[in-house]
Amino acid sequence: MKNISRRKLITSGLAATAGIAGLAAASRVARRYGLIPPDHGGIYGAGETLTYAAQRLLTRHSLAREFPRSMISKTPFANETAPPNDAFKRHQAVGFSDWRLAVDGMVANPASFSLSDLRSLPVHGQITEVVCEEGWSYIAEWIGTPLAGVLSAVGLLPQARYIVYFSIEPNWWESIDMADALHPQTFLTLGMNDGDLPVSFGGPLRMRVPRQLGYKSVKYITRIVATDSLKSFGKGLGSASPESGYAWYAGI
Amino acid sequence: MDGRRENGRVPIFLDSFLPGLCYPPSVSTASPVHSSVIIRHSAIVRVTHWVTVVCFFALLITGAEIVVSHPRFYWGEVGNVLTRPLFTLPIPSSRDTVPTGYGYVMPDRNGWSRYLHFEAAWVLVLTGLVYAIAGLFTGHFLRNLLPVRGDRNWAAFRRVFAKSFRRAPPNQLESRSYNPVQRTAYLLVIFVLFPLVIWTGLALSPAFDSAVPLAVAALGGRQSARTLHFFISWLLVFFLVVHVAMIFLAGFWSRVQAMVTGRVVVSPEGK
Instruction: Show me where the domains of chain B are located.
Output: 19-266
What count of Cα atoms within 13 Å lies in the side-chain half-sphere of residue B114?
28
CATH code of residue A189: 3.90.420.10
Contact A51 B77 (CB under 8 A): no
What count of Cα atoms within 13 Å lies in the side-chain half-sphere of residue B105?
10
- State the Cα–Cα distance between residues A186 and B249, nearest whole angstrom: 57
Beta-bridge partner residues of A128? A140
CATH second-level architecture of B19-266? Up-down Bundle (1.20)
ipTM beyond cut 0.85:
yes
| Res B193: pLDDT | 98
Q: Model confidence over A115-133: pLDDT tens digits?
A: 999 999 999 999 999 999 9
| Res B161: pLDDT | 86
B269 pLDDT tier (thresholds 50, 70, 90): low
Question: DSSP characters for B144-177?
Answer: IISPPGGG-SHHHHHHHHHHHHTTPPP-HHHHHS
pLDDT of B119 above 80: yes
Question: DSSP characters for chain B?
Answer: --TT-BTTB--SSPPPSSGGGPPP-----S-TTS-EEEE-S-HHHHHHHHHHHHHHHHHHHHHHHHHHT--EE--SS-B-TTS--SEE-SS-BSSTTS--SS--BPPP-HHHHHHHHHHHHHHHHHHHHHHHHHHHHHTHIIIIISPPGGG-SHHHHHHHHHHHHTTPPP-HHHHHS--HHHHHHHHHIIIIIHHHHHHHHHTT-HHHHHH-THHHHTTTSHHHHHHHHHHHHHHHHHHHHHHHHHHHHHHHHHHHHHHHHSEEEEBTTB-
Substitution target in A43, A136, A186 with the highest count of B β-carbons within 10 Å is A136
| Chain A neighbors of B79, CB-CB under 8 A | 136-137
Scanning A222-251 for CB atoms below 8 A from B yields 244-247, 251
* CB contact B112 to A (< 8 Å): yes
| Res A3: pLDDT | 55
| Res B184: pLDDT | 93
Q: Model confidence over B123-161: pLDDT tens digits?
A: 999 999 999 999 999 999 999 999 988 888 899 999 888
Contact A48 B213 (CB under 8 A): no
Contact A4 B22 (CB under 8 A): yes
Range of the domain at A102: 64-243
Contact B110 A73 (CB under 8 A): no
* CB contact B88 to A (< 8 Å): no
Is A12 part of any domain? no
Contact A129 B222 (CB under 8 A): yes
Strand order in the sheet with A162-167: A111-114, A100-105, A221-227, A162-167, A173-177
A144 to chain B nearest CA, in Å?
20
* CB contact B8 to A (< 8 Å): no
Closest CA to B197 of B218, B156, B172, B226: B226
Angle at B44 between CA B40 and CA B45, to 5 degrees: 50
What DSSP character marks residue A28?
Answer: H
B177 pLDDT tier (thresholds 50, 70, 90): confident
Cα A9 to Cα A15, A249, B20: the distances in Å are 10, 41, 8
Which helix (H) or strand (E) segment holds residue A153: the answer is: helix A147-153
pLDDT of A147 above 80: yes
B17 pLDDT tier (thresholds 50, 70, 90): very low
Is A52 part of any domain? no
| Chain A neighbors of B66, CB-CB under 8 A | 133-135
Is A128 part of any domain? yes
How many domains is chain A partitioned into structurally?
Answer: 1
Residue pair A192/A186 in contact by the 8 Å Cβ criterion: no
Substitution target in B114, B125, B222, B228 with the highest count of A β-carbons within 10 Å is B114
Scanning B125-164 for CB atoms below 8 A from A yields none
Q: How far is CA B217 from the centre of its chain?
A: 27
- State the Cα–Cα distance between residues A178 and A161, nearest whole angstrom: 6
CB-nearest partner of B82 from A48, A62, A75: A75
Is A17 part of any domain? no
User: Does the predicted model carry a pTM greater than 0.80?
Assistant: yes
| Res A18: pLDDT | 87
Residue pair B181/B140 in contact by the 8 Å Cβ criterion: no
Closest CA to B11 of B46, B40, B45: B40
B168 pLDDT tier (thresholds 50, 70, 90): confident
Contact B114 A58 (CB under 8 A): no
